[in-house]
Chain A
């Protein structure tokens, strides 16, 4: 999958309380959560996102709580992909499980990219292209096991397939 979009730039250690504050956690769908995404640290973020935009962040993106509402809220805003130098582990698995494309980039792009510039992300090859400069950056492609979950369309579809293969668990 190749995605091209405008960059929204964030720093290091963006926590899940910043991504979606707990006071909005009575909502459960991406659409309900989206308007409040990043509202405490960047008011107006959800309105500023155009469908297909890309978040570029530093290290440990999504640290803090296990709330799946965080990747859901990001997905709901129309963000197509999150590229970070590293992800907190629960956010990482939540993003895969709900089908929000993410890519861990070997290089910290926070000092290299600027807000609103356009980049192209090739998820299969783990490649990030800065269109203004033509520079390419690389991230680790997903292990086979996770690609299978992604190909299935998320963890629930993957589980459904497993259940169909072995209808009786006894």
Chain B
């Protein structure tokens, strides 16, 4: 029997098979199915067509109104109400209301809903985030979610796996976001299309769980079906006190089959910036130096976690946001918000002249809370910079990590964070 990757082993378990092979079509039992206020209403509409009086398992469905909430307008309010009513009617256990919720992909791991070996589908492309905890997690559409809510199953083509190895020690102010942007810049937005992306090596071992989730979050930006790290001591520490159930740890075999292996030496990696209009248009920060900004956003399922806020606060402490710049800081979950409050981070942001917002996807997808006008430029710790992503089709979004974002908010132009500190 040929060696198996972590993902192949998890999918084999879900399909009830000894072994699965890349390219094989399988039907798997899902451990969790997720929807939000944009994708779930479409799923609910499809689910209702089936005329069922119950979902497959009310404990295994998660509904999070996070995209256009707090409700941006009447239409969004109606969508959010559909989620709420559905959750009530079908007894959905994991429904999270505004004020107690968070951006879904920061929320689920935090709440202990993700465990190693789990099979999770979400009607949101960034569901791939949960691979950082050693799970198989992938984005699907609303109809897939509807089918999973009914049957507890989903069909997949077993992906082939590409391995990414990062050797060396990350320099100060360089983190998970820089690693993943650098990777996407190298392989392109379809460089891992349909594939699983396995991230490993010394530099990954050094990364915190927050940094790892930033990386797996953006697997989709390379076209990946999922991204993952094999669980280690840090994973287990993160899971302690969060995940109550028993779980099995899966690892890739020594002789597992990889379609390709990329190796990166990262000891000299500079902070990275993705230029519009594509996440693979990646340059070292010095090539972006001097680009004048109107708005900076620190938040999202990519970089709205506590470590991201700590990095930003270190740079913003005792400094002022540039008079021309609007800085939005959006803690990704209510718990992160509360922790940032306790640690004094929010005070630092407010004192610096930033607007601190309640958890929402909001500006990341041009939903609300920070839409760009024609010709405006934003620098954001989010994940996509397509045409019109944050507002007007003639506005522009540059992507980066929290250090570059915070430093640039002070400078008013894109800068290397090391320059602000000097």
| A residues whose Cβ falls under 8 Å from a Cβ of B | 13, 15, 17-18, 21-23, 25-28, 40-41, 59-60, 63-69, 72, 86, 88-90, 93-94, 97-98, 143, 145, 154-156, 158-160, 162-163, 169
Say yes or no: is B161 at the interface (Cβ < 8 Å to chain A): no
Instruction: Please tell me the size bucket of the interface on B.
Output: 35 or more
Report the bound CA distance from A97 to B144 in whole Å: 7
On whether A13 and B39 interact (CB within 8 A), knowing A23-B367, A65-B365, A93-B141, the answer reads no
1/0 per residue, CB under 8 A from A, across B205-228: the answer is 000000000000000100101000
CB neighbours of B79 from chain A (8 A): 26
Partner of B141, one of A15, A41, A90, A169: A90
**Cβ-closest chain A residue relative to B278:** A13
Say yes or no: is B14 at the interface (Cβ < 8 Å to chain A): no
Check if B50 sits within 8 Å of A88, measured CB to CB: no
**Cβ-closest chain A residue relative to B78:** A26
CB neighbours of B225 from chain A (8 A): 89
Q: How many A-B residue pairs have CB under 8 A?
A: 139
On whether A66 and B39 interact (CB within 8 A), knowing A26-B68, A40-B393, A156-B143, the answer reads yes
On whether A64 and B42 interact (CB within 8 A), knowing A22-B365, A89-B193, A163-B151, the answer reads no
Which residues from 144 to 190 on chain B have a C-beta closer than 8 Å to any C-beta of chain A? 144, 146-147, 150-152, 155, 189-190
CB neighbours of A169 from chain B (8 A): 56, 151-152
Check if B143 sits within 8 Å of A90, measured CB to CB: no
Say yes or no: is B386 at the interface (Cβ < 8 Å to chain A): yes
CB neighbours of A159 from chain B (8 A): 50, 146-147, 150-151
Say yes or no: is B194 at the interface (Cβ < 8 Å to chain A): yes
* Shortest beta-carbon contacts, A-B, top 9: A26-B75, A94-B141, A40-B393, A97-B143, A60-B190, A22-B365, A68-B141, A66-B125, A40-B388
**Cβ-closest chain A residue relative to B389:** A17
Report the bound CA distance from A162 to B39 in whole Å: 24
Partner of A69, one of B42, B46, B75: B42
Say yes or no: is B294 at the interface (Cβ < 8 Å to chain A): no
**Cβ-closest chain B residue relative to A149:** B155
Check if B386 sits within 8 Å of A17, measured CB to CB: yes
Check if A68 sits within 8 Å of B39, measured CB to CB: yes
CB neighbours of B155 from chain A (8 A): 145
On whether A156 and B46 interact (CB within 8 A), knowing A60-B223, A64-B125, A90-B139, the answer reads yes
Say yes or no: is B25 at the interface (Cβ < 8 Å to chain A): yes
Report the bound CA distance from A28 to B122 in whole Å: 18
